Amino acid sequence: MKILLTGLNHKTAPVELRERLAIAPEELAGETRALISHPGIREGLILSTCNRVELLVCYEGGEPELASYLNERFAVDSQSLQPHLYQHRESEAVRHLFRVAASLDSMVVGEPQILGQVKESYAAARSVGAVGGNLERLLQGALSAAKKVRTETQIGASSVSIASVAVDLARKIFGSLEGKRVLLVGAGKMSELAARHLMQHGAGSLLISNRTHERALSLAQKFKGHVVRFDDLHARADEADILITSTGSPEFIFRTPHAQQFLHRRRNRPMFIIDIAVPRDVDPEINRLDGIFLYDIDDLQSVAVSNLSDRGREAQRAEEILEHELARYQRRIETLDVVPALVDLQAAAEDMRQAELRRAQSRLHSLTPAQQGAVEAVTRGLMNKFLHQPLQALKAAAREGDLVTVEAIRAAFGLNGTSEATAHADQPAEPRTSNEPALTIKERND
């Protein structure tokens, strides 16, 4: 069984092309079913995220034309698709999948969503019976390697977007955001995004204030918040634990005396102020007050950049872990590879024994049943004794990854021609034909 991975990602294809090939989560199972109905494909999985579409298949015989499959399936002409596609085979495909699952191939290295998306694809493929022994082992290996990377490195520990940095900082101040109140002053894409992110992470309620009251009302409706009149802003700002401001005011809206009043009314409970406006809405001197934590857009940006460089360092450690895991996976696969050889060797010897007994039948038929039983036992014992050493040697060589010895034993017993046919013995979908190897051996012996 061979492995092939074909696909495109954010590095090789523009978003216009990626979105044409994107598969919705609810359609994954159906598409995977269609993929494995392709001739020669035994097992398959489709990974579709906003940054990549990849087809992973285990196949027999000639290499399947996955590119043409994509052309037909998504009605994309091959000329516009071909330059953006990459193909990985065998160990390279394994390495690629391991890197993808560990988020080392992501646009933002270390982002946590990809692992969940790989698991979703895996579940969808399993649900339609597209996962056999080979893909099962491969995905289990990739998922466990990804988990190891997550637990042993800090690759996903720090936030790299402005909104998530704001959430992280809020957590460092308040612990949980549960029940915390956010006040959004002014409007802007970035401030709305930060507010939305805070709400998603548990912030309790949202207050909105805007010079244009109607705008405040529409925002309040959108976020299910409450409006604070702009004239009441200084009187009510202390109700909020987190204040996000992004007005177009040319002057500071919040100065030190305001903040002192807030703290007094809050009995010194801390307040997190995020100033996204340019020019700034909050006097930077406010940050000197105990209990006030002021971050402007540059501060948030610099934290995000510094976290990103930390991730780069962690990614190097993650690559080392991945190499180790890949080697472990390969060793395991090699061990499993000798199982068919062991079975074939025993089957071939048994067939030989049966053939010899049949040949001697005319000379043995005068024997009593007890004597025939003795002959049966002697021949079986001889066969087992004869096979004992080669079987042990094969197992030991597989355990130690000694491929030279494995190949030598295979060659000595004439098993090389049969291993391909029996390599998928663990596949429920494709029952092994046990006669084939026996016949091969017999023919050679005859």
CA angle 160, 141, 339 (to 5 degrees): 170
Nearest to 148 by CA among 26, 329, 300: 329
276/338 with CB nearer other proteins:
276
Helical (H) or strand (E) element with 245: strand 242-246
Q: Which of 37, 39, 50, 443 is catalytic?
A: 50
**Does 196 participate in binding other proteins (rule CB under 8 A)?**
no
Stretch that binds other proteins, among 65-73, 164-172, 182-190, 328-336 (CB under 8 A): 164-172
CA distance 170 to 241: 9
**Does 239 participate in binding other proteins (rule CB under 8 A)?**
no
# binding residues, other proteins (CB under 8 A): 27
**Does 62 participate in binding other proteins (rule CB under 8 A)?**
no
Quick one: which of 173, 336, 342, 352 contacts other proteins (CB under 8 A)? 173
394 contacts 406 by C-beta, under 8 angstroms: yes
Q: How distant is the alpha carbon of residue 395 from its chain centre? A: 33
Edge-to-edge, what's the strand order for the sheet holding 181-186?
226-227, 205-209, 181-186, 242-246, 271-275, 292-296
**Which two three-digit tokens encode residue 356?**
């010899």
41 contacts 59 by C-beta, under 8 angstroms: yes
What's the min distance (Å) between Cβ of 304 and other proteins?
11
175/431 with CB nearer other proteins:
175
62/175 with CB nearer other proteins:
175
- Restricting to residues 284-313, name those near other proteins by CB under 8 A: 287, 290-291, 293, 295, 299, 302-303, 306-307, 310
Q: How many CB atoms lie within 10 A of CB 214?
A: 8
Quick one: which of 137, 171, 211, 226 contacts other proteins (CB under 8 A)? 171
Q: How distant is the alpha carbon of residue 436 from its chain centre? A: 39
CA distance 235 to 357: 103
Quick one: which of 16, 24, 79, 267 contacts other proteins (CB under 8 A)? 267
In this structure, what is the dihedral angle of CA atoms 207, 213, 216, 217, given to the nearest 10 degrees? Answer: 100
**Does 254 participate in binding other proteins (rule CB under 8 A)?**
no
Annotated catalytic residue 58: no
**Does 276 participate in binding other proteins (rule CB under 8 A)?**
no
**Cis status, amide bond into 279, omega within 30 of 0:** yes
**Does 152 participate in binding other proteins (rule CB under 8 A)?**
yes
CA distance 393 to 385: 13
**Does 151 participate in binding other proteins (rule CB under 8 A)?**
yes
**Does 324 participate in binding other proteins (rule CB under 8 A)?**
no
**Mask of contacts with other proteins, 19-58, x by CB under 8 A?**
----------------------------------------
**Does 202 participate in binding other proteins (rule CB under 8 A)?**
no
CA distance 255 to 244: 15
73/265 with CB nearer other proteins:
265
242 contacts 183 by C-beta, under 8 angstroms: yes
Stretch that binds other proteins, among 174-182, 348-356, 375-383, 405-413 (CB under 8 A): 174-182
Catalytic residues: 50
> Which residues of this chain interact with other proteins, rule CB under 8 A?
151-154, 169, 171-176, 266-270, 287, 290-291, 293, 295, 299, 302-303, 306-307, 310
